[in-house]
Amino acid sequence: MATKIVLVGAGSAQFGYGTLGDIFQSTTLYGSEIVLLDINPVALAVTEKTARDFIAHQDLPFIISATTDRREALRGAEFVIISIEVGDRFALWDLDWQIPQQYGIQQVYGENGGPGGLFHSLRIIPPILDICADIADICPQAWVFNYSNPMSRICTTVHRRFPELNFVGMCHEIASLERYLPEMLGTSFDNLNLRAGGLNHFSVLLEARYKDSGEDAYADVRAKAPDYFSRLPGYSDILAYTRIHGKVLETEGATERAALGGRDSAWEWSDRTLFKEILQKFNYLPITSDSHFGEYIRWASEVSDHRGILDFYTFYRNYLGQVQPSIELKMKERVVAIMEGIINDSGYEEAAVNIPNKGFIKQLPEFIAVEVPAIIDRKGVHGIPVEVPSGIAGLLCNQIGVHDLTAEAILNGSRDLVIQALLVDSVNDKCRAIPELVDVMISRQSPWLNYLK
């Protein structure tokens, strides 16, 4: 019987085309029925036509259908992949940044952590819970993979509401290790055994070992990382190139240096001045740059590369606006490998998944969703315990209360719990202004936040 895969949010060309391109490369998934689901019928029709034309041209054995009816789409689904946003992504993101700033709250990025991450969560998690309610009712055994952010708060809340659901968060930040470490260490990626862990966008490399010799590679990482990353180009360099040459560089799957023809950055530690502090003071390598890692640390505002973060945001916004999407037979994400691993009972180790903390990081409670490696087999996704050093664990523990209260605020529709979530957030240093800030945000984003009473 054909495998049924549902793509929720398939009208987004970036998600829909990219995921289809990944699926179309899998011989394990040949013959699968792929259902495209979106609330926007116009965008959905474009994705459907593009997919049908592509499989006809490539003579690929897949069945494509499209619908705006979620319950119809989910009937018989074995895998569901979610990537959605609500409203105007960038306009709402700007409010998440600007309004807290008007009340004196500094944020590094405002997408996944701090006040911006909270309001983003308050908007996007309710519709994801609605999707999950239908999955729990119609196809409760399906494996559900989420690409929407804020990842750790989404996963934490979903598992609190639907503890039996097979819901896994996916993020490609872990792929940075494959881009950077081989070049830095002078070896192939296949020769490295690596393990990372933490929270989504807040993880570090925990173990590194050479396969051929069995020797610890972390000493080399620590010795070589300062010279390598201090010269590595960042998004300020990429944006400058884009403005000069009038074309957008493709940085996915390559180092920024390779994308720029081998040149070094015009700035030291571009995108990574906070990264530098973590590496030097905690002695562990973050797997992401300042824009993400800095969202969870109060003092990050002092040491982050704010120019690089702003240029990343500008490039990201321009890239989404300018890129001409297409389906490519070029693997971009890891979800297909996991689906293959479940179908084939492969037992392989996946580098990073976001799942409830069932003892995988001992310093964190079970309810919070952690990012850890996992074994993939016919029974699903099984997290692997990792040893997190006390200093890094201390940073992670600052997020326990805000994740707990975010979930409770959403599940109870409680304005008071939103206020508490901000007051326990280590990124926030204000008190008296918080109730007014919350009321202003509810008013400005009322189509998505008026459930908070």
Predicted model pTM? 0.97
Mean pLDDT over 244-268 rounds to: 83
| pLDDT exceeds cutoff 90 at 217 | yes
pLDDT tens digits for 142-190? 999 999 999 999 999 999 999 999 999 999 899 999 999 999 999 999 9
Q: How confident is the model at residue 279 (pLDDT cuts 50, 70, 90)?
A: very high
CA distance 353 to 199: 10
Domains in the chain with CATH codes: 4-89+111-174+329-386 (3.90.1820.10), 179-322 (no CATH), 393-449 (no CATH)
| pLDDT exceeds cutoff 70 at 321 | no
Q: Which amino acid is at 176?
A: S
pLDDT tens digits for 92-111? 999 999 999 999 999 999 99
Query: Of 57, 120, 159, 172, which is the active-site residue?
Result: 172
Instruction: Count CA atoms within 13 Å of residue 367 on its CB side.
Output: 17
φ, ψ of residue 350 to 5 degrees: the values are: -90, 140
What is the token pair recorded at 69? 């009816």
Nearest one of 40, 429, 447 to 15, comparing CA atoms = 40
| pLDDT exceeds cutoff 70 at 200 | yes
C-alpha distances in angstroms, 79 versus 3, 23, 33, 142, 375? 8, 12, 11, 5, 18
pLDDT tens digits for 132-147? 999 999 999 999 999 9
pLDDT tens digits for 15-56? 999 999 999 999 999 999 999 999 999 999 999 999 999 999
Is 306 catalytic? The answer is no
Q: How confident is the model at residue 411 (pLDDT cuts 50, 70, 90)?
A: very high
CB atoms within 10 A of CB 242: 19
Q: How confident is the model at residue 247 (pLDDT cuts 50, 70, 90)?
A: confident
